[in-house]
Amino acid sequence: MPGFEEERIVIDPETNYNLVIGLIAIPNEMQFIPFDQDASVFASVDERPLVQVLVPKKVREESNKADSLDLRPAIQIGLFPPFSTNKFGSGAATNNLSFNALVGYNEGLEGLEIGGFLNILREDMVGGQFSGFGNIVGGDAYGIQSAGTFNTLQGELLGIQGAGLFNYTSKGIKGIQAAGFLNLNRNEMRGIQAPGFSNVSASSDSSFLSYGIQAAGFSNVLRSRFYGIQLAGFNNLLAKPSIGIQAAGFLNMASDNLSGLQIAGFQNTSIGNFAGIQGSGFVNITGGVMNGIQIAGAINISENVNGIQIAGLMNRAKNVNGVQIGFINRAHQVKGVSIGFLNLVKYGYKRFEASYEENDYWSFNYKTGTRWFYNIFHYGTRTETYSGYGYGLGLVPMQSGRWAMNVDVLARTYFVYGSSLVDDIHNRAKLELS
């Protein structure tokens, strides 16, 4: 049926005639703003508004005319364009040493550049670039970029970017990005991203792999296949199948399959399959198959579980192949054991018992859970005298054909009718063949 990925018909094995017809909707994929690694915001450095304001049009035009001359002065000293030793053709020169009192405008660098306000390179930077305000590079960077406010790079970074506010790289990084606020990378990341606020690394090519560490004070976002570590004060987001570690103060989210470790102060979410360990202060959610361990302060939710669920309040899954430990455990089917105060297994162990005991006491027990661990809820009464309430645990260690052996432990308390008196708790252990 359109809009649904599966149609399911279930026949209740106990009645053979009750039908349940289910339609499972196709899940909505997470939508992201598309990134094109071959497209830049500006076709060239000269088209950037800041460059057009600070570099006179005549200097830009003369530099374009002189591009074919391959100018390589050893030293360049300037105030701002065109007041420099390279004059109007500065944008066609590749320098070994460059010193700019305010603004520098050159073609490339193979050495060292220091600027008081802004350094602008139309092509590649090889070496070290340092500025009080910002660095703009139109090609690749091999070395170190350091600025008081920002670094922007239209090519690839092989080295280190350090800025007081943000770093931007268009074609990937192999090295380190460190910023006071934001690191933005529009291609694969291999190395370390460390800002005070957020990392964003996004590639439109799903074949790219990223390796390394993202560490941010607030958020990490990664849209390529990742092998490494994400650390954030608030949340981490992975949008492709990945292997590694997510650790956040509030939320971790993987929108596809994840293998590794998720640790969050509040919530872990894996929309696809998860293999490894999920640990959170409140809730873990896996939309596919959970292979490993889920540990939560309150709730674990998974489509299917192969492993262990441990929660302070509730575990929920459809099919469990392993162990559930929690105050309340819910599942459709358990191949293993659910351990808790209340175990609700749709196709598990259920039994209602009524019996007549000594002293005219009628006893009613309801058992629910799995064969290896079930809960017993007891109510009993002696006509016009007293009533009894109790709770217990039991298991079926042996069963064959039509007979089974039950081992039950039950605690009961009696309330006298018409009185506030409560009789002592009576503990009872029973071995039963049925």
Tens-binned pLDDT, residue by residue, of the chain (434 aa): 555 444 444 444 554 444 444 444 544 544 444 444 444 555 689 999 999 999 999 999 888 888 778 888 999 999 999 999 988 888 889 999 999 999 999 999 999 999 999 999 999 999 999 999 999 999 999 999 999 999 999 999 999 999 999 999 998 899 999 999 999 998 888 999 999 999 998 876 666 778 899 999 999 998 878 899 999 999 999 888 889 999 999 999 998 889 999 999 999 999 999 999 999 999 999 999 999 999 999 999 999 999 999 999 999 999 999 999 999 999 999 999 999 999 999 999 999 999 888 778 899 999 999 999 999 999 999 877 888 899 999 999 988 878 888 899 998 888 887 665 555 556 666 666 55
The predicted model scores a pTM of 0.76
Q: What pLDDT is stored for residue 402 in this prediction? A: 80
Distance CA 255, CA 273 (A): 10
- Helix (H) / strand (E) containing 56: none
Written as six digits, the tokens of 117 are 């306000």
Type of residue found at 334? V
Distance CA 418, CA 409 (A): 29
Q: DSSP class of residue 31?
A: P
- Residue 71 has a pLDDT of 86
Tell me the domain boundaries of the chain.
242-337, 349-433
User: How many Cα atoms occupy the beta-carbon half-sphere of 393 within 13 Å?
Assistant: 9
Angle at 185 between CA 179 and CA 187, to 5 degrees: 155
What is the C-alpha separation between 373 and 406, in angstroms, rounded? 11
Per-residue CA distances from 65 to 88, 110, 121, 161, 223 (Å): 11, 22, 16, 31, 40
Instruction: Label residues 212-222 b or e (16+ Cβ within 10 Å = b).
Output: bbbbbbbbbbb
d(Cα 226, Cα 239) in Å, to the nearest integer? 9
